[in-house]
Amino acid sequence: MKRVLLKLSGEALAGDKKTGFDEPTVTQVAKQVKTLVDQGMEIGIVIGGGNFWRGRSSEKIDRTKADQIGMLATVMNCIYVSEIFRSVGMKTSVMTPFTCGAFTELFSKDRANENLANGVVTFFAGGTGHPYFSTDTATVLRAIEIEAEVILLAKSIDGVYDSDPKDNPAAKKFDEISIAEVIDRKLGVVDMTASILCMENKMPMLVFGLNQENSIVNTVNGTLNGTKVTVS
Are 124 and 173 a contacting pair, CB within 8 Å?
A: no
Is 13 a binding residue for ligand UDP by CB under 6 A? The answer is no
Least Å distance, CB 216 to ligand UDP, is 19
Find the shortest distance in angstroms from Cβ 210 to ligand UDP.
14
**138-167: contacts with ligand UDP (CB under 6 A):** 138
Give whichever of 36 and 47 is closer to ligand UDP, judged by the CB atom. Answer: 47
Q: Is the Cβ–Cβ distance between 179 and 198 less than 8 Å?
A: yes
In the set 93, 122, 135, 215, which binds ligand UDP (CB under 6 A)? 135
Least spacing, CB of residue 108 vs ligand UDP, in Å:
17
Among 128, 215, 219, 227, binds ligand UDP (CB under 6 A): 128
Q: Which has the closest alpha carbon to 205: 154, 150, 161? A: 150
49 binds ligand UDP (CB under 6 A): yes
Site membership for ligand UDP, residue 71 (CB under 6 A): yes
Question: Between vectors from CA 86 to CA 80 and to CA 89, what angle results, nearest 5°?
Answer: 155
Asked if residue 131 binds ligand UDP (CB under 6 A), the reply is yes
- Does 193 contact ligand UDP by CB under 6 A? no
Of 80, 130, 211, 218, the one binding ligand UDP (CB under 6 A) is 130
Nearer to ligand UDP, 18 or 172 (CB): 18
Q: Is 82 in the site for ligand UDP (CB under 6 A)?
A: no
100 binds ligand UDP (CB under 6 A): no
Binding of ligand UDP by 226 (CB under 6 A)? no
Per DSSP, the residues of the chain read: --EEEEEE-HHHHHGGG-SS--HHHHHHHHHHHHHHHHTT-EEEEEE--TTT--TTS-SSS-HHHHHHHHHHHHHHHHHHHHHHHHHTT-EEEEEESS-BTBTSEEP-HHHHHHHHHTTEEEEE-STTSSTT--HHHHHHHHHHHTT-SEEEEEESSSS-BSS-TTT-TT--B-SEEEHHHHHHTT--SS-HHHHHHHHHHT--EEEEETTSTTHHHHHHTT-S--EEEE--
Contact stretch for ligand UDP (CB under 6 A) within 81-89, 136-144, 169-177, 201-209: 136-144
**Residues at the contact surface with ligand UDP, assessed by CB under 6 A:** 10, 48-50, 54-55, 66-67, 70-71, 73-74, 127-128, 130-131, 133-138
